[in-house]
Amino acid sequence: MERVTDLVDPNRCKGAAQDGQCQNRAEHGSEYCCVHGGRSLREAEEQRGYLLSKMDEKTRLVQMSDDLEPVKELRDLIALQHILIEKRYNLITSDGELLAACGPLNQMLLTMERLVNSCHRIETNLGELLARHAVLALAREMVQIVISELEGIDDYEQIVDRITQRLVNVIRQANNHTEQATIALPPPVGAD
C-alpha cells in the first residue's frame, strides 16, 4: 500500500481513518484505497485498450488487404507483416533497443520482401485479372441493366432469373486457366 507524501494529493484516499482522512493513495480509477473498498481499474483499462487495439489491427488489416490486389492470401500476409514490422519498431524506446531490434527487424523486412516479390511474380504470370468480388459486382450491374431494359415485357422476371443463373454459373466455373471466357447469350427477346 502506498501512502501519499502530500496531504493535498488529488489521488489521496477519501476514506475516513481514526485520525482523519486516510493517507493511503487511492487505487487507480477509484477514490478509495483497497482498505476502504477501492478497486483498481488499471487491469480492466489495459485489457480494454488491448482489445481495442486488436480491433484497430483487424480493421487496418482489412483496409490494407483491400488496397493490395489481386492475390488474397499473399496480400493478407503482406498486410499482416507490415503491421508486425510497425509494432516491433514502435516498441523501440532507446538506442540500445534499436540496436537489439536490428536483427529481428531485418528478418521481418526480408520476409516482407519475399512476400512482395512472390505476389508480384504471381500477378505478372496471371496478367491483369479482376478479383472475384469485382466480377460479382460487375454481374450485379449487368443484371440491373437487363432488368431496366426488359421491364414491361410479359414475364420479364423469369427471363432475368434465367440470365442471372447463367451469369452465376459462368462466374462459379471460371478459373485462372481459362484463356478467354466466351459467354453464349440467348438471342434477344422477339428475335427469330
Is the pTM for the entire model greater than 0.75? no
Alpha-carbon gap, residue 101 to 82, rounded angstroms = 16
> Using one digit for the tens of pLDDT, what is the confidence trace for 69-111?
445 667 777 788 888 888 888 888 888 888 888 888 888 888 8
Q: With beta carbons less than 8 A apart as the criterion, state whether 115 and 74 touch.
A: yes
Q: Where are the domains of the chain?
A: 1-39, 43-126, 130-192
> Using one digit for the tens of pLDDT, what is the confidence trace for 27-48?
888 888 888 888 877 776 777 6
Q: Is 64 helix (H, G, I), strand (E, B) or coil?
A: helix
Closest-CA residue to 110 (of 85, 88, 90) = 85
